Amino acid sequence: MAKDEPKEWTIEERLLKFQEDQLAFQKRQLEVEGLRAKAQQAVAEATAKRLAPKSLEIAELAQISVFNPRGERTYPMPRLKCEILAPWPISPNGHNCTREEVELFNLLEPGLYAITLNDDAPAKMEVSARRNEATGVIEEMTLKPNPPWNNEHRNRFRSMPLILREILGERAVHVLTMRQEKAGIATGELAVSVDG
């Protein structure tokens, strides 16, 4: 066989060469698709960042939450005046109360109060207090209803803000409900905290 004559390939060699070429092509295709996917991901992330509502950033920086929709930065929630047992412990140092609930708890004084249950049945709420012996300042208040807060009666009680408003009566008129506060924010009547 002369040097310039092309080699004759067997069917097996041709088939093997074809399969190798196909694998190489598929490998290049996967590499291109991987690069394309990375590029699309980068574009999607950049677009999402560009289009993300600035209000979310502002909300984080201004510490706006469902508990205090006006934000802690400029309109901090008042401190709870003492530990409350209603029936779970609520600590002044950390709690999940709304601004409305904190303001209402802060107005609460010891006594025996008439309240209404969800089924319009009358009930009593005893509010007792433990005071500091030296200063007379209330350090803990316990809300004890009759009927009691238990599994049998738990669905009969209204929400805590409604119970407190019924107990406080006219003393609670100046405390905005969370619904009123959110409406005031939406209409621009109430300002919210802004970043720095």
pLDDT tier, 52 (very low <50, low <70, confident <90, very high otherwise):
low
* Residue-wise pLDDT tens digits, 113-124: 999 999 999 999
Q: Give the 3-state DSSP-derived string for 114-149, with helices as H, strands as E and coil as C.
A: EEECCCCCEEEEEEEEEECCCCCCEEEEEEEEECCC
- Residue 61: the pLDDT is 53
Find the mean pLDDT for residues 98-126: 94
Q: At what angle do helices 178-187 and 99-107 cross, to 10 degrees?
A: 130
- Residue 115: the pLDDT is 94
The mean pLDDT value of the chain amounts to: 85
Q: Which residue has the tokens 């999607």?
A: 44
**Is 56's pLDDT higher than 90?**
no
Find the mean pLDDT for residues 76-102: 90
Whole-model pTM: value is 0.65
